[in-house]
Structure 1
């Protein structure tokens, strides 16, 4: 029995050590690690205001929903890390947080452009619209015409394009974006393969920006910039550094406190806290949850709660030892008596986290996510992991002195 407990404990320690070693690089990678939010990484915060149409038609809920979906698609097409797009229908606004943006002005132009693409005959009649497109990709011209956007039409759009180019052989086909003339290439022959090319872009990036607009479709309403706020990367880095320092100092204090007051169980608690940290960070990593300052606050809060739960359990264990029970019986009774208290605290806090998650504010939702993940992780470590480790420790030497559990010998004898 003693040998089995030693092997179990050694295996867990080795497994955790390997997990720590292999977790450091992926979790801290600035590109592929846990994504940092706008307040930590820097970027731009935008509020886009939907405007009524020229005919005075009010902006509907469907308009706002479609606008949000299209803006979300544009942001994702731009390749930005973990953007946050929210709809505020009451004020007819779309709120966008873009972390890590290198060129805020370009991002703003891409997002607010209505991007209504049309193909017209010389008389100005619309022959095709952007809705007839299937895909649009940037590339280089095969005929030395600089950079281009290659268009691929849907099956219905291909038929319309074939009919239009058949009728317009020898005439220009006007291409317009938001009623602004882009170019008017002359149709030399009918184009029946459902593909076209817009040429003469100054750079590949410019062609790629237009391709994003064409692929995402046109906004149902025009958008203006109601608010634009930039967060510098230096400010974000400073905030992150201060948060990490505060967290590190807090952890050191917690480790020392648990060791000083609970001795051997304190060592187990510190080890469990390490496992708790690994679980939380990996869950956030796999969820691709964006880490913000509020999220870090949620993590620090749950660390304190995790330690608090260990304190509740250990105090129960000490009470059982003082009543004269053996270490094994005291550990089992202590965990059983503390179980309801710990579960109650976890459930009530988890309910609060779930309630906060439905807040329209992204920072509050980030806090709620990290709080919920931390609560579930601390529940596992406090009830399951810590209990198993203490069982194995007591199983190795059931007759060890109770002073190792922070109970003075006179209490044991009395």
Structure 2
């Protein structure tokens, strides 16, 4: 049993080291390439810079609802940016008729700018030239693949739109129904049978990326006012080019101090906590990379806060274990009891933090959402490592049959 536990601990340490190496350096396996997380994590305006675009809203100065129209355009632009995973972008009104958009770390500025200003007026036109339904009738739109593995946009209609579309397809069997986007025909399929289910497909896209962009434009809706792009420029990191380097350096120093403190103060449990903390950091970086979260300085603050909560969870557990040993329990019994008694405190504190993060995510914008996302991800991962990984490894350590309670910080 003791030998088995030693082997298990050795394998765990090797796996953590392997995951760390792959995460930080990447790896090529045949035709598959795993990029380092440092290259995959997008950085915000404050850390890397990006671009800003100025749009002029073409509205009549005497129009009483011009402010409402401009605000509506800003909401549509926000939706489009969110669908492009540009949650950290900022949109602000300037003067009476201008909108300023700042977008971090984009590769093709003009492509993103084109998505923002595109009217996206969608119409289905029958063979007689009558409009059947428009973009407002579409409930949702998703990219996918149709017959012959061709990229398509699959859409679902609201009740009234589904009824009108069903009647139109019933009356136009053998005829074409044109699908127009901003006055341009993007597809003109021939109706084979009545489509009564309230759903259909738009064809004519060259690739799946084009289908994704069209689906995003349809879902975000048409702009309520015409926008003219009058300026586009790249901007540098708002906090300076060395802000990220200094932030990472500070984080590494802080983490190293915490690791050393846990090892000295809690000894064997501290070593287990250090392993859990290293695994926690690696998992957070991998998740941030996989989910394409844009990292800003507030986002880094969210990660650091969740690191503190991860350490705090281990401290609560180890203090409970020490208390149980001080009343005369065996090490194994003290570990079991310590985890059991610490669970409710850890669970309650983490759940309340997650709730606060969700509220910030829903009602916040830009950097506030970035902070909320990294905080939620960090807290969820910290619960996983503290409650499952730490508990499993602690039982392996206890299985080494050491009866010296001083090794457990008692």
Q: How many residues align?
A: 319
- Give 1:279 deviation, angstroms: 1.7
Following the alignment from structure 1 to structure 2, what is the Cα–Cα distance between the partners of residues 394 and 108?
56
2:172 paired residue number: none
Q: Spell out the pairing of 1:64-213 with structure 2 (5 A cutoff).
A: 65=72, 68-69=75-76, 82=86, 84=88, 96-101=101-106, 110=114, 155=178
Query: Are the structure 2 counterparts of residues 85 and 220 from structure 1 closer, same or farther at C-alpha, using a change threshold of 3 Å?
Result: farther
Following the alignment from structure 1 to structure 2, what is the Cα–Cα distance between the partners of residues 269 and 157?
60
2:200 paired residue number: none
RMSD: 4.3
* Partner of residue 44 from structure 2, selected from 29, 37, 54: 37
Following the alignment from structure 1 to structure 2, what is the Cα–Cα distance between the partners of residues 154 and 30?
48
Following the alignment from structure 1 to structure 2, what is the Cα–Cα distance between the partners of residues 292 and 74?
17
8 Å CA contact 2:23–2:37 kept in 1: the answer is no
What whole-Å deviation, never above 9, does each CA across 1:168-203 have from its counterpart, x for those lacking one? xxxxxxxxxxxxxxxxxxxxxxxxxxx9xxxxxxxx
2:266 paired residue number: 262
- Give 1:240 deviation, angstroms: 0.5
8 Å CA contact 1:114–1:221 kept in 2: the answer is no
Q: Secondary structure at the match of 1:97?
A: strand
1:404 pairs with 2:399: no
Q: Spell out the pairing of 1:259-338 with structure 2 (5 A cutoff).
A: 259-338=263-342
Following the alignment from structure 2 to structure 1, what is the Cα–Cα distance between the partners of residues 384 and 112?
44
Q: Secondary structure at the match of 1:358?
A: helix
1:21 pairs with 2:25: no
8 Å CA contact 2:119–2:223 kept in 1: the answer is yes
- Give 1:310 deviation, angstroms: 0.8
Q: Secondary structure at the match of 2:241?
A: helix
- Give 1:359 deviation, angstroms: 2.8
5+ residue gaps, structure 2: 27-33, 122-133, 136-175, 186-203, 205-213
Following the alignment from structure 1 to structure 2, what is the Cα–Cα distance between the partners of residues 113 and 64?
14
1:253 pairs with 2:260: no
Q: Spell out the pairing of 1:364-403 with structure 2 (5 A cutoff).
A: 364-397=368-401, 399-403=402-406
- Give 1:387 deviation, angstroms: 0.8
Query: Are the structure 2 counterparts of residues 335 and 116 from structure 1 closer, same or farther at C-alpha, using a change threshold of 3 Å?
Result: closer
Following the alignment from structure 1 to structure 2, what is the Cα–Cα distance between the partners of residues 255 and 371?
21
* Partner of residue 353 from structure 1, selected from 349, 354, 357: 357
- Give 1:288 deviation, angstroms: 1.2
8 Å CA contact 2:6–2:400 kept in 1: the answer is yes
Following the alignment from structure 1 to structure 2, what is the Cα–Cα distance between the partners of residues 310 and 27?
32
TM-score by length of 2: 0.64
